[in-house]
Amino acid sequence: MRRGISQLVIGVTIIGFGTSAPELFVSMIAALQGNPDIAIGNVLGSNIANLGLVLGTSALLVPLMISATIIRFEIPLVIFTAGLAWLFSLNGQLSRLEGLCLLGLLVFFLLVMIFRAGKSKPSAVKTADIADTTLLKSVWFDFGYLIIGLAALAGGSKFFVSGASTIARLFGISEFLIGLSIVALGTSLPEMVASIIAIFRNKADLAVGNLVGSNIFNILLILGLVSSITNIPIPSNALAFDFPVVFIFSLLLLPLAFTQKRISRWEGLLLLLLYSGYIGFIIRRG
């Protein structure tokens, strides 16, 4: 926010993308290693965890005020992308062409966010402040940390996928279920941490923007990128149940946010109960 960009834009784009990085690396490595069920399960499970577990926990801690901008644009886009991915998957796979369509929609989304970021800059920001030597040094340090973090994330994701695949084979559990549960929970931890920190710093826009942005990136970037590289088969369980659950959780956001433009504690509790019921069901389903 050093350049005066709104908290909402930062949350939806930079933080949303950053907290989706684990899902991106894990899903890419899983697909390239011949474990597409883990990749699909990770994306679907992460999106459900973001809206059920993370958003529910956040609202239970502090009622979350929802800006009119999120209600008008980001939430409808979360619903649309969830529905579009489900529609693309109905033939039993995500094809390269469908992956490219998702990536094209991602480009449109980013252009809209760049336009909004430009409009949100306050006139009080001075050129001299931007050119400040301390700021430039800080940017270089941040860039260095980013490179180190991405390298560690890539290496860790490879071990994470291998471990998840081994657990699935050892206990006779499907890789798709491992992706939906253990892998999805693991890759959703950054969203949980980022949202809780934002809440305790009285920046609810960052918390909500982080979650809706992460869900948009998970569908458009991760599913789009993975399926544009190779056709991804869709498990029958995902078509029959998990894709609809992602869509229903996304759709539920609209009435929850629209009532008094906030998500209350009892609504947060409702989301947590729904998520707990979902996890219980998929564990019993096996």
Tell me the one-letter amino acid at 120. Answer: S
With b for 16 or more beta-carbon neighbours within 10 A and e for fewer, the 141-171 pattern comes to eeeeeeeeeeeebeeebbebbeebbeebeee
- Name the residue among 58, 28, 63, 126 with its Cα closest to residue 264: 63
pLDDT digits (tens, 9 = 90+) for 144-190: 555 555 555 545 545 555 666 666 666 667 878 888 888 888 778 77
Structure tokens given for 14: 């930079």
**Tokens 């029959």 identify what position?**
240
Per-residue pLDDT, averaged over 183-203, amounts to 81
Helical H runs in the chain?
A: 7-10, 16-32, 36-49, 55-61, 68-69, 75-89, 96-120, 127-130, 133-171, 175-178, 184-200, 204-217, 224-229, 236-237, 243-258, 265-285
What is the predicted pLDDT for the residue at 25? Answer: 77
What residue spans define the domains of the chain? 7-118+133-285
* pLDDT number for residue 148: 59
The pLDDT-based confidence of 5 (bands split at 50, 70, 90) is very low
> pLDDT, tens digit, for every residue of 128-140?
444 455 544 555 5
Other beta carbons less than 10 A from residue 257's beta carbon: 23
Q: Exposed, middle or buried: residue 212 (CB in 10 Å: 0-12, 13-18, 19+)?
A: buried
| Alpha-carbon separation of residue 73 from 102, 112, 122, 191, 209 (angstroms) | 17, 10, 22, 21, 11
Q: What percent of the chain clears pLDDT 90, i.e. is strictly above it? A: 34
CATH architecture of 7-118+133-285: Up-down Bundle (1.20)
> Cα(114)–Cα(224) distance, rounded to whole angstroms?
20
Mind listing the pLDDT tens digit for each residue in 18-61? 667 777 878 888 888 888 888 899 899 999 999 999 999 999 98
79 has a pLDDT exceeding 50: yes
pLDDT, the chain, mean: 79
pLDDT over 50 (residue 71): yes
* Residue 248 confidence (pLDDT) above 80: yes
